[in-house]
Amino acid sequence: MITEYKTILTPSEIEFIEKKSRFIGYAAPVITEEQALEFIRSVKAKHRDATHNVYAYITRDNNISRYTDDGEPSGTAGLPVLDSLRKAGFTDAAIVVTRYFGGTLLGTGGLVKAYSAAASKALAAAKPVIKRLSKIYKIICPYDLHGLLEYSLLKNNFKIENTAFTDKVTIVVGIPFENAELLEKTVVSVTSGKAKAELIGEDFVNSDLLNCCNNE
């Protein structure tokens, strides 16, 4: 069972010229193959006049990995992009490398080098993030206890993921498995039992949201 994985924090875009050919690399976080394909379609729509729109993606969902050379010689474009994802250890990520041919042939080795560079640069610009499996809790409390509860959660180094205000206040917290008991006790103690932490599931949460709970 996977308990953590590395992915992309935010989308990125880079560009460089190699022997008069213009390469534009795009990277984006995705969760499903459908999201990956939608990202690829959006880049292709932006560069309909490009010579090639090469892509690769890896998703945890159904353990899928795909790539295409989009007209470049077999093995010189899509596979190097996919290999860049694999070597960097990324999953739930997609890359599109757009090329505008500049009139000078790069050769097989030159193409592999250029597409690998575009993918690596795009990944570096996107910034990595580690996502770790955590418990997700929902806390519903009256308005008059919200301030005190929020203060206590932050004081105990729990990072709040989301807060919604309706007739009451709903706070969502994602924490490491080992901190569950501490959270539950904190909520009951601070609110004198008027609120409790309800486990609503498990999900992968950015590591900065988990590290905050370890009192390091």
pLDDT of 168-208, one tens digit each?
999 999 888 888 889 999 999 999 999 989 999 988 888 75
Q: Are residues 177 and 146 in the same domain?
A: yes
Model pLDDT, residue 213: 38
Of 99, 126, 153, the last residue of a domain is 126
63 and 38 inside one domain: yes
Q: Do residue 21 and residue 117 come from a single domain?
A: yes
Q: What's the length of the chain? A: 216
Query: For position 208, what pLDDT does the model report?
Result: 59
Residue 20 has pLDDT above 60, yes or no: yes
**Same domain assignment for residues 92 and 180:** no
Residue 107 predicted with pLDDT over 50: yes
Tell me, yes or no, whether 111 and 47 share the same domain: yes
**Which ranges of 89-142 does DSSP label H, i.e. alpha helix?**
107-126
Q: Which of 202, 186, 190 is nearest to 137 (CA)?
A: 202
Tens-digit pLDDT profile for residues 199-214:
999 888 887 544 433 4
The boundaries of the domain holding residue 151 are 131-214
Q: Tell which of 94, 126, 158 closes a domain.
A: 126
| Residue linked to tokens 């007739």 | 167
> Cα separation of 3 and 133, whole Å?
5
Decide if pLDDT at 215 tops 50.
no
Looking up residue 80, the CATH number of its domain turns out to be: 3.30.230.30
State residue 55's pLDDT score: 98
Residues 28 and 107 in one domain: yes
**92, 72 contact by CB (below 8 A):** no
pTM value is: 0.78
Tell me how many domains the chain contains. Answer: 2
User: Would you call 66 exposed, middle or buried from its count of C-beta atoms within 10 A (0-12, 13-18, 19+)?
Assistant: middle
Mean of all residue pLDDT scores within the chain = 91
pLDDT > 90 fraction of the chain, expressed in percent and rounded: 76
Instruction: Write down the pLDDT at residue 66.
Output: 97
Q: Which range among 96-100, 114-118, 197-201 shows the weakest confidence by mean pLDDT?
A: 197-201
Based on the fold, state whether residues 156 and 59 are members of the same structural domain.
no
